[in-house]
């Protein structure tokens, strides 16, 4: 991909605007920038070492490694939070798959909600009462 100067500046402005917008809502991801720079330094350090520039590559690798170690607490926090969200989601989905209503009766006969009729004895008695009242009027 060939990036022109305008496109690169435009991308930087979009990223800065997005970070500012998220910052207004209390979402601060500025720590990710240091992490990204550390990964870039490590990448270029390894690339320089493979190209034969061992001293410059080792310096880049060392600086990137130190920055990466500084980002380690943030990475552990992100990993733990992602794992908590994942396992919480799995528990919720597991319960939805096997969701069965509680039995309608607690007797030992083994009745379940499928055995319950839609109309209770109170309902039938009430209807009978209303019919009698209408006949008397």
48 close to 60: Cβ distance less than 8 angstroms: yes
d(CA 118, CA 60): 75
pLDDT of residue 24 exceeding 80: yes
**pLDDT tens digit sequence for 44-86:** 999 999 999 999 999 999 999 998 888 888 888 888 998 998 8
DSSP state of 52: T
Q: Quote the percentage of the chain above a pLDDT of 90.
A: 18
What pTM, to 2 d.p., does this model score? 0.46
**pLDDT tens digit sequence for 95-115:** 665 556 665 555 556 555 555
| CB neighbour class for 31 (10 Å; exposed up to 12, middle 13-18, buried from 19) | middle
């Amino acid at each position: 991909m060939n990036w022109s100067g305008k496109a690169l500046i435009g991308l930087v402005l979009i990223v800065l605007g997005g970070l500012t917008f998220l910052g207004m809502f209390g979402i601060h991801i500025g720590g990710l920038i240091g992490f990204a720079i550390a990964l870039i330094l490590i990448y270029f350090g390894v690339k320089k070492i493979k190209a034969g520039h061992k001293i410059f590559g080792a310096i880049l690798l060392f600086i990137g490694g130190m920055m990466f170690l500084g980002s380690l607490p943030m990475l552990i926090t992100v990993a733990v939070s992602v794992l908590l969200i994942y396992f919480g989601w799995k528990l919720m989905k597991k319960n939805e798959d096997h969701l069965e209503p509680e039995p309608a009766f607690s007797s030992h006969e083994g009745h379940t909600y499928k055995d319950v009729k839609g109309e209770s004895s109170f309902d039938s008695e009430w209807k009978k009462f209303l019919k009698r009242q209408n006949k008397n009027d």
